[in-house]
Structure 1
Amino acid sequence: MLEVYLFVNPLGEQCVRDEQNVLRLANDSDKQIQFQFVPLLNINIIQKAMQRQGLKATDWQAQNHQSQQLYRIILDYKAALFQGKKRGRNFLIAMQDALLKAGQRYSEDLVTAVAERCKIDLDMFMEDRNSDLAKQAFHADQRLASEMNITAASSAVVFDCDHYDYGVLLEHFNYATLFDLVNGQLDPFDELAQHTNCANLDGTQLHVL
């Protein structure tokens, strides 16, 4: 069995493409794959989100607003996940469609509309998104990212639970490289990878963890 952790910026357009690649991989591969979209929140994520909106990095008020908005979106996502992984993923993707593709502004009305569209129990969701449990889940994600040395979004960590005790970190990856790795057509554990801990393939950075 394979486990894939994709670390994402909820407002990152590249992350949306990577999420679609992971979903596509789960359909295309014959392997049993469990995957999670893990939200990241750090200064790099905040600044990139500001750049996308044409905001200056020195605008501290805007930076604080961006940080709070990302935090709220992540808590919403964690609350949706409490009602099932599929509903949680659908909620995240629907929010990204609304915010990035449709250009809507984050608001309580938007959150409610997206939750209803994803068939989420609203009463439970509204309670969970402000709960200590959602905040604990957020902090657990950030600890996981730290343990895996993740600093940037669009990073994926793949574990082959049946053969290896360690995983592979992919940065700047494409679908072809991810597919080859998962299906055994690419071996990151060869002598080169173990000595350099990094191999460049079509722009992809591979690190053995």
Structure 2
Amino acid sequence: INMAEYSSDLLIEVAKGANLDVAMFLEDKASSFVKSSYDADQKIAQEMNISNNPSLVIFDNFNQQFGVLLEDVINCELIEKAFNHANSLDHQSQMPQQKKARSVGKSYLQIIK
């Protein structure tokens, strides 16, 4: 893996490589809204013990207190297994035992109206 040290120049290079409007990207990056949104996302990820990228959390519409967290290798087969077990997401033992899937609680979520 070719690793580069984080810098403003690297960030601009990556933004250009992604064909972003670099000026708008830098403006958005500096905004207080983006910073607070990022902090909120990081807090949720920490509370759910998410440590890998990519990660995907699927919640059951009928029992929204629990979900399944899929990490690292997320593929159609694993997502399908999670959906097939949607009615029993509150019991980790009923989710196929996958190294990259585990039950998570939703008590971290705070909805503000």
Aligning the two structures, in what range does the TM-score lie when normalised by the shorter sequence? 0.5 to 0.7
Which of 146, 150, 153 is residue 51 of structure 2 equivalent to?
153
| Amino acid paired to 1:152 | I
Aligned to 2:111: none
Deviations 1:173-193 (A, max 9, x none): 7433233224x3xx1534xx6
User: In structure 2, the residue corresponding to 1:201 is in which secondary structure?
Assistant: coil
Deviations 1:149-173 (A, max 9, x none): 4123135310354xx2415222557
Aligned to 1:137: 37
The alpha carbon displacement at 1:141 in A equals: 0.9
The alpha carbon displacement at 1:120 in A equals: 1.1
User: In structure 2, the residue corresponding to 1:158 is in which secondary structure?
Assistant: strand
Which of 174, 181, 201 is residue 82 of structure 2 equivalent to?
181
User: In structure 1, the residue corresponding to 2:49 is in which secondary structure?
Assistant: coil
Aligned to 1:207: 103
Q: TM-score, normalised by structure 1?
A: 0.38
Alignment RMSD (CA, Å): 2.8
Paired residues, what number? 98
CA distance in structure 2 between the partners assigned to 1:198 and 1:137 by the alignment: 30
Alignment pair present for 1:120 and 2:17: no
Aligned to 1:32: none
8 Å Cα contact 1:173-1:203 kept in structure 2: no
CA distance in structure 2 between the partners assigned to 1:117 and 1:179 by the alignment: 34
The percentage of aligned residue pairs carrying the same residue is 23
Q: TM-score, normalised by structure 2?
A: 0.63
Aligned to 1:13: none
- The answer for unaligned runs of 5 or more in structure 1 is 1-100
Give the 3 Å change call, closer, same or farther, for CA 151–177 of structure 1 in structure 2.
same
8 Å Cα contact 1:173-1:204 kept in structure 2: yes
8 Å Cα contact 2:69-2:104 kept in structure 1: no
